Amino acid sequence: MNFKDYDPGPFYDEIFETPGHARPGVESLVDLLHNLEKGDLQRRQRAAETILLNLGITFNVYGAEQGVEKIFPFDIIPRTISAKDWDYIERGVKQRIFALNEFIKDIYSDQKILKDGVVPKELILSSEPYRKECIGLHPPKGIWAHITGTDLVRDRDGQFYVLEDNLRCPSGVSYVLGNRQVLKQTFPGIFSAMRVRPVDAYPNLLLQVMDHLVPESVRDPCRVILTPGIHNSAYFEHSFLARQMGIELVQGSDLVVSDGFVYMKTTRGFQRVDAIYRRIDDDFLDPKVFRSDSLLGCPGLMEVYMKGHVALINAPGTGVADDKAVYRYVPKIIRYYMNEDCILPNVPTYLAENPKERSHIIDNLKDMVVKETNASGGYGMLIGPASTYRERKLFEDKIKANPRNYIGQPVIQLSRSPILVKNRYEGRHVDLRPFVLYGKDIEVIPGGLTRVALKKNSLVVNSSQGGGSKDTWVLYDSQNE
């Protein structure tokens, strides 16, 4: 196998500058793949999939009939990012996360940005993930979003854009860690030759974030991951991270509130819990405050949290910054709190709630991507160029019935990267989700989750919609020793 017939097409290709000419720093990877014996890459692909299954790097598609355990489709050819590009991404993501934290802090306290008219007040009050119960909250160290997954895409001109922000319970970091373990076993030696930056510090960095939120008087903090249980689509990530971090994985029924603290039930009695990485949505976190019918959370948890006797990662209420209508205002949010221009631009976004912009969306449905403001996983979305007249008419009716619930964006021609298709290479569209940890400092893990649309010509990269993943190699600068 070789790349002589590989066609990057009219898109930005992550590996090749032009047909047959690899980007600087990637030549040794292309040479390695070119020099493999016939069938060798396919054997390594099958071995990689077996390793992923053994690691438990799996997911569940809600409503699937084939059972709960399924590996996240994986392509063995890594996606590479130059040191220069990564520096740009890192600076842009750090800026964005800092500003969004300031925004969340503000709207649950003084609401200065709303009073100054920078973000419309009604937009926030009508936001589905806005939690009035969080008004007046003061999370430890003033940090609301400790873990963020920011979705980036690259257009055909090579420019990165932020597609959306994920500040509630962002998933996918287990694939970042698992994919790296797989590639190290599959291609030992190439990492040192390519000078790939490591990602395996993530579990320890997350522990440091959790410890940073615990009062200094607590000498030996107890940290746990709170999961909804085995039927959650990301359960395997929850258990994988718990193993990697060396902490307990608990469900709401394993926790109890007593004397103003949260305790974990153990075979030796109750053990006080100091920090909870919760993978449960706000609605189900505490039936005394949010949904009274929730059996997933812990009654009384919010009262303990408000007293400062337990840390929650991420803080309740952060989802308001996930709202895709709020996303439209992030450049203004950055300007307001930091007095800086946005480093990483947004994709141009039209709000269906605005009558003029709603007309623009409806008149151009065939050429736009329409999204529900609070949907995820590729659901609730229309990709105009790939849609039928009936699908567009259905979305038009939905938009008119509930305009606050929809935004429209022009189609971004996502960059592509080669994948293995039987005995040849073909280009597929990719995005990137870097993971950001906010504790004592803001840390961006060098790499992130590269999702790939495995279906030919598809722009949908979500695993629930037939997408897969790649290992993401951030290269050291050639001058960096």
Per-residue confidence band for 390, with pLDDT thresholds at 50, 70 and 90: very high
Q: Which amino acid appears at position 163 of this protein?
A: L
| CA nearest neighbour of 172 among 459, 450, 464, 466 | 450
Query: For residues 179-192, b (16+ Cβ closer than 10 Å) or e, as one string?
Result: bbbbbbebbeebbe
Is the predicted pLDDT of residue 377 greater than 80, yes or no? no
Reported in sequence order, the residue ranges of 343-481 that DSSP labels E, i.e. its strands, are 350-351, 368-372, 381-383, 406-410, 416-421, 424-433, 435-438, 442-444, 449-453, 467-470, 472-474
Read off the tokens for 430.
């990719």
Q: Are 160 and 344 in contact (CB under 8 A)?
A: yes
The DSSP string of 350-395 is: EETTSHHHHHHHHHTGGGEEEEETT--TT-SEEEGGG--HHHHHHH
What is the pTM assigned to this prediction?
A: 0.94
pLDDT recorded at residue 61: 52
Summarised one tens digit per residue, pLDDT across range 58-72 is: 665 545 454 455 678
Read off the tokens for 66.
């084939």
Q: Are 445 and 462 in contact (CB under 8 A)?
A: no
Summarised one tens digit per residue, pLDDT across range 108-137 is: 999 999 999 999 999 999 999 999 999 999
The 3-state DSSP composition of the chain as helix, strand, coil percent (nearest 5) reads 35, 25, 40
Q: Which residue has the higher pLDDT, 435 or 25?
A: 435
Reported in sequence order, the residue ranges of 283-434 that DSSP labels E, i.e. its strands, are 311-313, 350-351, 368-372, 381-383, 406-410, 416-421, 424-433
Q: Are 133 and 316 in contact (CB under 8 A)?
A: yes
Read off the tokens for 7.
């066609």
What residue segments make up the domains of the chain, in order of their start? 95-142+198-338, 350-410
Summarised one tens digit per residue, pLDDT across range 337-357 is: 999 999 999 999 999 999 999
Residue 366 neighbours by CB under 8 Å, 6+ apart: 384, 385, 387, 392
Per-residue pLDDT averaged across 457-475, rounded? 86
pLDDT recorded at residue 59: 62
Is the predicted pLDDT of residue 149 greater than 60, yes or no? yes
Counting beta carbons within 10 angstroms of the beta carbon of residue 46, is it exposed (0 to 12), middle (13 to 18) or buried (19 or more)?
exposed
User: Tokens 């964005």 label which residue?
Assistant: 96
Per-residue confidence band for 152, with pLDDT thresholds at 50, 70 and 90: very high
pLDDT recorded at residue 5: 86
C-alpha distance from residue 143 to each of 196, 322, 439, 444 (Å)? 31, 16, 8, 16
Counting beta carbons within 10 angstroms of the beta carbon of residue 439, is it exposed (0 to 12), middle (13 to 18) or buried (19 or more)?
buried
pLDDT recorded at residue 103: 98
The Cα–Cα gap between 420 and 429 comes to: 13
pLDDT recorded at residue 378: 63
pLDDT recorded at residue 210: 98
- Give the pairing type, strands 472-474 and 79-81: parallel
Per-residue pLDDT averaged across 430-436, rounded? 97
Q: Are 453 and 446 in contact (CB under 8 A)?
A: no
Per-residue confidence band for 395, with pLDDT thresholds at 50, 70 and 90: very high
Read off the tokens for 88.
């740009």
pLDDT recorded at residue 4: 86
Per-residue pLDDT averaged across 394-398, rounded? 96
Per-residue pLDDT averaged across 147-174, rounded? 95
Q: Are 285 and 90 in contact (CB under 8 A)?
A: no
Summarised one tens digit per residue, pLDDT across range 236-245 is: 899 999 999 9
pLDDT recorded at residue 481: 41
Is the predicted pLDDT of residue 480 greater than 60, yes or no? no
Mean pLDDT computed over every residue of the chain: 92
Q: Are 75 and 466 in contact (CB under 8 A)?
A: no
pLDDT recorded at residue 70: 67
Is the predicted pLDDT of residue 263 greater than 90, yes or no? yes
Q: Distance between alpha carbon 333 and the CA centroid of its chain, in Å? A: 20
The Cα–Cα gap between 384 and 388 comes to: 8
pLDDT recorded at residue 477: 84
Is the predicted pLDDT of residue 407 greater than 90, yes or no? yes
**Greatest CA separation for the chain:** 69
The DSSP string of 30-87 is: HHHHHTSPTTHHHHHHHHHHHHHHHHT-EE--TT-SS-S-EEPPB-SSPEEE-HHHHH
Taking the domain 95-142+198-338, which CATH number applies?
Answer: 3.40.50.11290
Q: Are 236 and 301 in contact (CB under 8 A)?
A: no
Summarised one tens digit per residue, pLDDT across range 217-243 is: 899 999 999 999 998 888 989 999 999
Q: For 426, list phi and psi in degrees, rounded to 5.
A: -135, 150
Taking the domain 350-410, which CATH number applies?
Answer: 3.30.1490.270
Please count the CA atoms within 13 angstroms of the CA of 228 that sit on its side-chain side.
15
Is the predicted pLDDT of residue 13 greater than 90, yes or no? yes
